[in-house]
A and B are shown apart, each in its own frame.
Chain A
Amino acid sequence: MRSSIFVSIFLHVAVIVVGIYGLPAIRKPPVLQDIPMVVEIVPIAAITNLSSAPEPPKEPEKKAEVKPPKPPPAPKVKKAPAPTPPLPAPKPEVAVVPPPPEPKPEPKPKAKPKPKVKVKPKPEAKPKPKAPASLAKAKPRRKPKPPDRFASVLKNLERELKRPAPKKKEKPKKQAKKPKTRFEDMIAKSLSRRPTEYDPNEKMSLSEQHAIHNIIRQTMEPCWIIRAGSKNAQNITSVIKVTLRPDGYVSGARLTNKSRLKSDPFSLAAGESALRAVLNPSCQPYKLPVDKYAVWKYLTLTFNPRESLGR
């Protein structure tokens, strides 16, 4: 009795304190809630752009995605969370990897314009089936489509390399070393984007949202063991709060309302089953786009087997 009275008093005081001092602080978080608001607006604009827009961004993502996951598996097999924090670091390293084929232009800066020429003919080849006569027009259209950061870096690099060209032959040798560092830096800057640099307010297309949702579902569904034949199983909902690491592994997960669920063995068992699905090492990592880490770092997974239990 006493303890419950103390709790009751504490709660009342807490409510009063929140009313007096806490309200201004509570008003601030809604700013963060704007994040989903932004996401909701996007689909309206994105509906028409769905097919074309998402394609180009995926290519750079893949490069970033495919490579970073490699480091995490090794530590994961042994122990879960400990060795992972340095994970964001490997990205720039990985991002630097692509340049190796390009060192060739360094000794011969003149060769660089050539790749440009190569890039153009490729798009030309595709539009052929439509109308060979409009080849000239097709070129400018294709140029904007591959807004590769890498290509833009090459452009900038060209400009900079053109400047030193008029100088004497001796100098270019020394300068040739400088561009090396610039070249690497530029590529590293343009291709490596740390997840922490992601702006949550950045608009995400509808297809990107769907892709993330689908990846999470596809990861969870094969791991979540449900019990067919249980009474009203389709009405039981379990909510799991999950925190993910940048490499897609679970760093923390908890079942919400666990204390309340303890009074209902069936709901508790269902919740724990969902939690086991989240914690199952065989069901990690989530292969999610690293550059959207800020979006999927914190997950709220709501488990309800209504689709599996049709009744």
Chain B
Amino acid sequence: MMTSKRMIPRQNWGIVEKKPGGFMNMMNKFAGHIAVAIGLAVMIVAPAHAELNVDITRGVVKPIPIAVTDFLGESTKEKNIGRNIARVINADLVRSGLFAAINPKAFIEVEQSLGTVPKFGNWRVLKAQALSQGSVQIEGAKKLKVQFRLWDVFAETQMEGKVYSTIPENWRRIAHIIADSIYKRVTGEDGYFDTRVVYIAETGRGDRRIKRLAIMDQDGENHHFLTDGSALVLTPRFSPNRQEITYMSYHGNVPRVYIFNIDSGRQELLGDFPGMTFAPRFSPDGNKVIMSMAKDGNTEIYTMDLRTRAVQRLTKHSAIDTSPHYSPDGKRVVFNSDRSGSQQLYVMNATGGRAKRISFGRGRYATPVWSPRGDLIAFTKITGGKFFIGVMDTDGKGERLLAEGFLVESPTWAPNGRVIMFFRETPISKKGGVVSKLYSIDLTGHNEREMVTPMDASDPAWSPLIP
């Protein structure tokens, strides 16, 4: 198979992705021209025939049945990696709620080579609509080559085919990348499996509660701590385009905003402001941080340019303005304020100016987060003694509540704007003891899943796709 390098090594990971190209592309173009010519000829010559037009305006919302076979390998090590890759892909796809994995025990016959077209009849019987196959090859001591193909079982066509090269230790990331590839090809939306989640890991009770910054893959694997717990940390937020986190820390008993570089492990104080700074978030281009600053008894929204360290004030109101979040195009900012008497959501230009209220429902609204795809704003709503996680259009219309609980808060979007993660506190004793866990839910509101963490967890922040 003719191949050419299409994507260059990923930073610090050494993963190379290849895809058929070169000569094949040229041939495809040529074939395309011939097809156009033939099509024209057919249009002129072929007789017209009566066609019945029918509109199908309803469908069913259910997972797409997919069969993911163990990736083939020669040696025992290759086979083990192949089996693990298939397991991770399966888990990713199923957790999305958009796929239903067919039990491997039901497989009739698994092809033992990627070089042949699958026997689609065997997969149709299982009602599989898509079929994922792959192979693993370890070349030398430090090179893992993973091939994968995605087939449309009903149309009997190949939907995707890629080859990845990396070090063997990266097999899990390869699995996530392949899962993203399948997700995107079948749904048309970007995947979110090759991502990480940073959150606040909590241990201890009462006054001795220790809060540490922790990070893990979106499926809960590769968990480790970023801070040692000596200082209280809150509200971690990922940079939309870099592996950086901004958060608030009580280091030295002074609440201030810091920036943490995941790759280098370096922590940096954002700035020495005269008042307390909190609720920081990056701008979409990663060059600014927008945050709240309490000064002289008044909380306003400020931005700081990370290159020039220039600070700009965006709001000027006697009320508390906080929890700012940029729209993905960076032109607008949503925040919450009690300027109308109760806590509500407002939208203003990114340069400041007049703010427009967008939430008018009963109760209070907080922690607004603009969807990465720009169409929705997620929020926390407090009404009737309960907390809710909901979404609304950017003009405030179409409010939908997705999750509820004794305390649910801090929504964060997956990079494809389809899934939201949040934390939920559940009381476990009359003395005030609570359990705090992370959950994800998709926009349908029907696919809520707990994120397993080694300890209590709060304040999650979803990373962009790992570059």
Contact = CB atoms under 8 A, between A and B. Distances in A.
Interface of A: 3, 6-7, 10-11, 14, 17-18, 22, 25, 29, 32-33, 35-36, 79, 200, 212-213, 216-217, 220-232, 241, 259, 264-270, 272-277, 279-282, 294-308, 311
A222 B60 contact: yes
A221 B33 contact: no
A156 to B, nearest CB: 34
Contact of B56 (A228, A282, A303): A303
A266 B54 contact: no
Contacts of A268: 188
A109 to B, nearest CB: 46
A275 B47 contact: no
Given A269-B186, A269-B187, A275-B154, A308 B57 contact: yes
B52 A300 contact: yes
B53 A302 contact: yes
A256 B184 CA distance: 21
Interface stretch (B36-44, B141-149, B294-302): B36-44
Contacts of A232: 375
Contacts of B129: 225, 276, 280
A307 B57 CA distance: 6
Given A3-B30, A269-B186, 15 more contacts: A7-B37, A25-B44, A216-B52, A259-B32, A264-B188, A265-B188, A265-B189, A276-B155, A280-B154, A299-B51, A301-B56, A304-B55, A305-B59, A306-B57, A307-B57
Nearest to B190: A265
A29 B50 CA distance: 10
Interface string B10-53: 00000000000000000001101100110010001001111111
Contacts of B64: 225, 273
20 contacts: A10-B40, A32-B50, A216-B54, A220-B56, A224-B58, A225-B64, A227-B61, A229-B418, A229-B444, A230-B187, A231-B417, A272-B155, A273-B186, A276-B155, A298-B49, A299-B51, A302-B55, A302-B56, A304-B57, A308-B57
Contacts of B375: 231-232
Given A229-B443, A280-B154, A299-B51, A265 B58 contact: no
B390 to A, nearest CB: 14
Identify the interface centre among A25, A200, A212, A225: most chain B CB within 10 Å of its CB: A225
Interface of B: 29-30, 32-33, 36-37, 40, 44, 47-64, 98, 121, 124, 127, 129, 152, 154-155, 159, 184-189, 373, 375, 398, 417-418, 442-444
A297 B49 CA distance: 10
Contacts of A272: 152, 155, 159, 186
A66 B52 CA distance: 23
A213 B444 CA distance: 30
A33 B48 contact: yes
Contacts of A264: 188
A275 B155 CA distance: 8
Given A14-B40, A29-B48, A279 B155 contact: yes
Nearest to A22: B44
B48 A32 contact: yes
Contacts of A213: 54
Identify the interface centre among B36, B57, B61, B64: most chain A CB within 10 Å of its CB: B57
B100 to A, nearest CB: 10
Contact of B54 (A224, A265, A301): A301
A279 B128 CA distance: 12
A304 B418 contact: no
A269 B152 CA distance: 11
A1 to B, nearest CB: 12
A276 to B, nearest CB: 5
Contacts of A266: 187-189
Contacts of A29: 47-48
A241 B443 CA distance: 32
Contacts of B189: 227, 230, 265-266, 269
A311 B54 contact: no
Contacts of A17: 44
Contacts of A36: 50
Nearest to A229: B443
Contact of A3 (B29, B53, B417): B29
A279 B120 CA distance: 13
A222 B187 CA distance: 18
A280 B65 CA distance: 12
B74 to A, nearest CB: 34
Contacts of B56: 216-217, 220-221, 224, 274, 301-304
A26 B44 CA distance: 8
A273 B66 CA distance: 13
Contacts of B32: 259
Contacts of A223: 60
A272 B150 CA distance: 14
A29 B51 CA distance: 13
A196 B114 CA distance: 45
B404 to A, nearest CB: 18
A275 B48 CA distance: 23
Contacts of A300: 51-54
B188 A228 contact: no
Contacts of B127: 282
A217 B57 CA distance: 9
Contacts of A217: 54, 56, 58
Contacts of B33: 3, 6-7
